[in-house]
């Protein structure tokens, strides 16, 4: 029995998942279905399948953990992901929903006051 072979699926899954979650805020990689996360889960599952065919109990346990990696990714993306599928998408030419925003002069801008006018709404993420 090889300890490295037994822990390889769990190690791959841990490195890929940890790397993805640690680097996403820095690199700005946010996807509904991140391909790099699925690729890591597939790699862990492939190592897990390899380990299931070996004779050692520790390798088989590591194999089961590797096979569970895609299920863990699916569970995370469908349970905790902030990128849920939206059913309130706007139609081209449709009416924009009502909103209220603070202005740069300290007042409030109400979208209802702008009805009937042509409006260009620019959203800027950052400071002025």
DSSP structure string for 57-123: HHHHHHHHHHHTHHHHHHHHHHHT-S-PPPS-PPPTTPPPPP-EEE-TTS-EEEGGGGTTS------
pTM: 0.56
CA distance 31 to 45: 22
CA distance 79 to 105: 41
Nearest alpha-carbon partner for 16 in 48, 45, 41, 47? 41
Tell me the per-residue pLDDT of 56-106, one tens digit each, with 9 for 90 and over: 888 888 888 888 888 888 887 777 666 555 555 667 777 777 888 888 888
Q: Give residue 27's pLDDT.
A: 75
Non-local (6+) Cβ contacts of 7 within 8 A are 62
At residue 5, the 3 state secondary structure works out as helix
pLDDT at residue 114 tops 70:
yes
């Amino acid at each position: 029995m090889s300890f490295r072979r037994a822990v390889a699926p769990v190690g791959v899954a841990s490195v890929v998942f940890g790397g993805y979650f640690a680097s996403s805020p820095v690199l700005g990689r946010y996807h509904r279905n991140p391909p790099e996360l699925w690729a890591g889960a597939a790699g862990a599952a492939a190592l897990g399948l390899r380990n299931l065919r070996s004779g050692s109990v520790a390798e088989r346990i590591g194999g089961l953990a590797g096979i569970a990696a895609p299920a863990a990714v699916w569970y995370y993306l469908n349970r905790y992901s902030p990128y849920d599928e939206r059913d309130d998408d706007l139609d081209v030419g449709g009416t924009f929903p009502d909103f209220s925003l603070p202005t740069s002069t300290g007042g409030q801008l109400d979208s209802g006051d702008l009805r009937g006018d042509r409006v260009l709404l620019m959203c800027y993420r950052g400071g002025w």
